[in-house]
Amino acid sequence: MDNRELAMSKDKISEAKLRIERLQVVLEVWADAASDNNEACLVFAVMDLLSNVNRALEGGK
């Protein structure tokens, strides 16, 4: 992989991380407004999954 391809990959990873962070904020608001425990549990499960994806994008930190 040359430097240009590496830079493009890093840009795509940064963009994905930013989108995940934005989605996590929306999910936090949704979790706070959840009308029942089942809905809240689902939201928290998705938030946990996104956290794991974000961690993987950071290289497993």
Number of domains in the chain: 1
pTM summary value = 0.70
Token pair listed for 15: 């963009």
Q: What is the pLDDT of residue 60?
A: 62
Decide if 50 contacts 27 (C-beta within 8 A).
yes
Inter-residue contact 20 to 49 (CB < 8 Å): no
Residue 48 has what pLDDT?
92
Per-residue pLDDT 10s for the chain (61 aa) are 678 777 778 888 899 999 999 999 998 888 888 888 888 888 889 999 999 998 888 886 5
Q: What is residue 3's predicted lDDT score, i.e. its pLDDT? A: 80
Domain that holds residue 50: 3-57
- Label residues 44-57 b or e (16+ Cβ within 10 Å = b): eeebeebeeebeee
